[in-house]
Amino acid sequence: MNLADVTVQPGRYILAVSGGVDSMVLLNLLHEQPGVQLTIAHFDHGIRQDSSDDRRFVASAAQFYGLPFVYHRAELGPEASEDQARRARYQFLHKVRQAASADAIITAHHQDDVLETAILNMLRGTGRRGLSSLLNTSSIIRPMLAVPKIDIVRHANNHDLLWHEDSTNQDVRYARNHVRHNVVPRLSSLERARFIDIVNNNQRINFQLDQELIHHLHYQDQAHTINRRWFSSLPHNVAREVLAMWLREHGIRDFDSRTLERLTVHAKTQAAGKRANIRGQYWLKVHGDHLALLTA
């Protein structure tokens, strides 16, 4: 994919800008696109002591392009995990989107991010969806997913763009940085192309499987219940996928494979009246003939 082909549909968007080369290039590509209204959103994790420099840099860029700018500083601290940082960032972005009545959030994820995320998720054992987790959705648009990082850096240099390099990006103690610096660069061009084909094919298969799961869930008697006899008759791995889709259909997405395994076993084996916590206020309750989703 050529960077000249990176566009979005006309509309109002929240563009996530960290100050790194990826988001600065995307800002440069989209700021004059006809019919596109951008609000620049910057999230300061509060992990690095010099992170306020990034915020000032992005604020200056927004002023240069004549675009609205919003930011939030969290105090996650240097011990915060990558997952904590990601969740906090997206929570902020979705709040900004809602406040601005924007159509969607735009992020600068690119092809190297796709590879890194697929490798990390395989190592974490996240299942079939982990291999193709970086996708465009109705609320998050990632227009550079087919663009290699090397092309982004080349564009920035050719157009004399400035960016800030996050010093923690070089710290290979972080799993993503280890994959970024020690694994992905060792892929040959052929291996990289094959890996991308696998990810894309897996994405198509996942879409078909998800549609089939949704179809079966729509045959349940009530939206917040699953027929327990039918569920218990399913092969264990299929039951896990059904339960995962059921939770996602009700807006519950932050669960891991261990939680899913625990809930599946609970649903199949526990006596009527027993309930298991999913996370926070959400509970799975077992009845004699059905499973129910409850909120505390």
The tens-digit pLDDT sequence of the chain (296 residues) is 788 889 999 999 999 999 999 999 999 999 989 999 999 999 988 777 777 899 999 999 999 999 999 999 887 776 767 778 888 899 999 999 999 999 999 999 999 999 999 998 888 777 788 877 788 989 999 999 999 999 999 999 999 999 998 777 777 778 888 999 999 999 999 999 999 999 999 999 999 999 999 888 888 877 789 999 999 999 999 999 999 999 988 888 878 888 999 999 999 999 999 999 998 889 999 999 999 999 87
Positive/negative CA dihedral, 209, 211, 212, 214 = positive
One-letter amino acid of 16: A
- Give the model's pLDDT for residue 175: 84
- Cα Rg of the chain, angstroms: 21
Question: How far apart are alpha carbons 204 and 197 in whole angstroms?
Answer: 11
Q: What is the pTM of this model?
A: 0.83
**Are the C-beta atoms of 101 and 3 separated by less than 8 Å?**
no
Residue 208 contacts residue 272 (beta carbons within 8 Å) = no
d(CA 33, CA 163): 21
pLDDT of residue 182: 92
Q: Tell me what pLDDT residue 287 has.
A: 94
pLDDT confidence of residue 157: 96
Helix 236-249 × helix 257-269 angle, to 10°:
110
Give the pLDDT confidence score for residue 233 in this predicted structure: 94
Q: What is the DSSP string of the chain?
A: --GGG----SEEEEEE--SSHHHHHHHHHHTT-TTEEEEEEEEE-S-STTHHHHHHHHHHHHHHHT--EEEEE----TT--HHHHHHHHHHHHHHHHHHHT-SEEE---BHHHHHHHHHHHHHHT--GGGGG-----SSEE-TBTTS-HHHHHHHHHHTT------GGGG-TTSHHHHHHHHTGGGS-HHHHHHHHHHHHHHHHHHHHHHHHHHHHHTTSSSTTEEEHHHHHHS-HHHHHHHHHHHHHHTT-----HHHHHHHHHHHHHSPTT-EEEEETTEEEEE-SSEEEEEE-
Give the model's pLDDT for residue 220: 81
